[in-house]
Amino acid sequence: MALNFNYYENLKDYYSQYSNLLDDQVTKQFPAQAVGQMLEMNLQIKKILNETTARYYEFVNLPSRNDLAHISSQIVKIDAKVDDLEEFTEETKDNQRDTVVLRGEIVNLKKEMKSLDTKLNQIVTLLNSQKVTNTKGTV
């Protein structure tokens, strides 16, 4: 019985098969699977760390990032409302100034009207007196 066992030939076949299998795995599935698994594991770790940090902040009574974001959004809303109120106040002041100016103009107009009315009454009185003297002189 002759044993035709060639150790180097078998090692070469094994290396060739393993190399081909490894090449197939690396080029097709392994990197995508491994990267996907690593990303999933990293996301789970990040989620756990975020939850732990949030619980710790709550325990030691410190604001979290979400609390600060909420407060900053509230500050922005309040700032917008203050700006609106300032604008409204300025418009109201302008309207009040316009009203004061308009009232002053109305008072001046009334004075001028009274002055014109008295002058007109004087003219009418003079005309009536001239009419009376003309009618007496012609009779």
Q: How far is CA 23 from CA 19, 46, 96, in A?
A: 6, 33, 85
**Angstrom distance (rounded) from CA 67 to CA 74:** 11
The predicted structure's pLDDT at residue 77: 94
Q: Within a 10 A sphere around the Cβ of 126, how many other Cβ atoms?
A: 10
**Angstrom distance (rounded) from CA 92 to CA 98:** 10
**Angstrom distance (rounded) from CA 109 to CA 128:** 28
Q: What is the mean pLDDT of each run of 10 residues along the chain (139 residues)?
A: 67 84 72 78 91 90 89 93 92 84 88 90 86 67
CA 110 to chain centre: 51
CB half-sphere exposure, 25, CA atoms < 13 A: 9
The predicted structure's pLDDT at residue 31: 67
HEC string of 65-118? HHHHHHHHHHHHHHHHHHHHHHHHHHHHHHHHHHHHHHHHHHHHHHHHHHHHHH
Asked whether the whole model's pTM tops 0.95, one would answer no
